[in-house]
Amino acid sequence: MLDVLIKMSGGIGLFLLGMSLMTDSLKEIAGEQLRLWLARFTGSAWSGMLSGIGFTLAVQSSTATTLATIGFVSAGILSFTQAIGIVIGANIGTTSTGWMVAFLGVKFSITHIALPLIAIGAILKLLTHGRSALVGLTLAGFGLLFYGIDLLQVAMSGFAAQVDLSPFAGTSLWTQLGLVLVGIIMTILLQSSSAAVTATLAALASGAIDLGQALNLVIGQNIGTVATAVLAAIGANISAQRTAAVHVIFNVMSALLAFILLKPVFLWLFTHTAVSKWDHVVIVAAFHTAFSVLGALFVLPNLRRFEALITRLLPERHSSILTVLDQASLSVPSLAIQAANQVMRHILLSLYGFLQNILHQAQAPSQHQLQQLDQQIAALQRYLADIPISEDAPERRKLTNLLRMMVYIDVLRGDVDQQQYQVLLAHETDLSTLRLDYEHLVQCQIQYLKQETDSIVDIERDLFHLKQWTDENRSQIREHLMQYASQANMTAAKSFDLLAAQRWLDRTIAHSQRLAKVLAEHQAP
């Protein structure tokens, strides 16, 4: 029995490892195209459903699709209505794993194919970079996945010979519900409905369980997959929480329809028609797809009512910009970078808004405003540290630019703290002119961040020229300041404050120019 359990756990482990490698690699290969694809092809719930099916088929993970969708909704890239169709499509798309296992994994041993795939994938990963390395990881993951299925088949054959499952063979309601509960627990423990369904199909193929038991287990496994989405939505904004609620309600409702209506129909067809000649594993795969499609056919025609129900259950509330930085986005590096970029723009708008008030009317931000800004900066720094390094060069460049911008955000935050001298800027001719020029460019940067202007390049060039002018005329400006202080009978302390104000202005202009340069590089294709 110990040998059986070791093989079973090893088979599941290899399957999960292979699925993880394949899914993560395919998501990175998709990269920015994932965001563009979902944003482009989700005009209606039906097209959203097709997009959800397509992406789930591509990455072989409904969890990845659902988490990415929650992240997109949280970042404001997709609406809640668009997300409903994608989540429904993801539930249909994930049933492809059952078909793949039915026609490949349990029909014959593909160990002789799987092992070379692992070897080829490992070689590509070690000897190449970028997309070729990702293709290598995908091949290795595919090979590990089917090698794990092969081990599971062997383990389940031994399991059937040594374990008595007759207590679960009854047709009573409690026995069937018990199997549904086992299916839910399997998915939660394995963190993958695909792995749980694969284990069920392997057990069915080896004779460890019968068809009725397999159908009940698959129903429970479809419910259990919502656990990850629920965890991802905790702390996210209301739209992301509603998206997770769609996943929960749709899966539970589909499971109820399958348990009450579809399962009796399939068992009757198996008993009284030519379906009895079909392979049991194929019947389970067909059942898994059928009840997800049945749920979609029930929900999509009643989409407005479904949406209104979830909106009533989860009413609108005030949402912080930091809810954009949810953990779901981290599963897709391009999405995480998009979310970080959105928060980065918000922080820069706050900083430049403070600078504009300082320059225009010598008005400093309140302590509450500064504390709120500091919290946002700290949260963004933590989030950027958690973003996985992508194999894709453009994605790495975007992440590097964001990290560089964080350096200048910290510097500008320090400049805002040292604004005590700025009331003096309005009282001297040279400095007041320089202040007005810089204030105008700060306003231009605010307009760019609000997406009212298309390019930062011209702003960066003007800031560079202003910085160049201050460097060339620094000594002359200081001399004029001393003359002004003397004519105005200023004390030595006041004169020192005037020079400190000039240094602050020079330094802040230089920091703004460097930040604008990084923004220009970040904007470049």
Tokens for 508?
């802040």
Q: Is 153 helix (H, G, I), strand (E, B) or coil?
A: helix
pLDDT at res. 163: 46
Q: Give the chain's mean pLDDT.
A: 77
Tokens for 333?
């590096």
pLDDT at res. 77: 65
Tokens for 73?
């909704």
Q: Answer for the pair 1, 159: CB distance below 8 angstroms, yes or no.
A: no
Q: φ, ψ for residue 362 (rounded to 5)?
A: 55, 35
Provide the terminal-to-terminal Cα distance of the chain, rounded to the nearest Å: 59
Q: Which residues are CB-contacts of 203 (< 8 A; sequence separation ≥ 6)?
A: 156, 159, 160, 209, 214
What class, spelled out in words, does domain 332-523 have in CATH? mainly alpha
Summarised one tens digit per residue, pLDDT across range 10-26 is: 777 776 777 667 666 76
Summarised one tens digit per residue, pLDDT across range 365-410 is: 888 888 888 888 998 998 888 888 776 777 788 888 888 889 889 8
pLDDT at res. 480: 79
> Is the alpha carbon torsion for 401, 404, 410, 413 positive or negative?
negative
Instruction: Say what percent of the chain tops pLDDT 70.
Output: 75
Summarised one tens digit per residue, pLDDT across range 82-121 is: 778 888 888 888 787 777 777 765 555 556 677 788 888 8
Summarised one tens digit per residue, pLDDT across range 467-485 is: 888 888 888 878 777 777 7
> 3-state secondary structure string, 170-219?
CCCHHHHHHHHHHHHHHHHHHCCHHHHHHHHHHHHHHCCCCHHHHHHHHH
Identify the residue with better confidence: 304 or 160: 304
pLDDT at res. 32: 55
Summarised one tens digit per residue, pLDDT across range 157-193 is: 555 444 445 555 556 788 888 888 888 887 877 666 7
Distance CA 75, CA 469 (A): 41
Identify the residue with better confidence: 39 or 101: 101
Domain definitions of the chain by residue range: 2-313, 332-523
> Is the alpha carbon torsion for 416, 422, 426, 430 positive or negative?
negative
Distance CA 481, CA 57 (A): 69
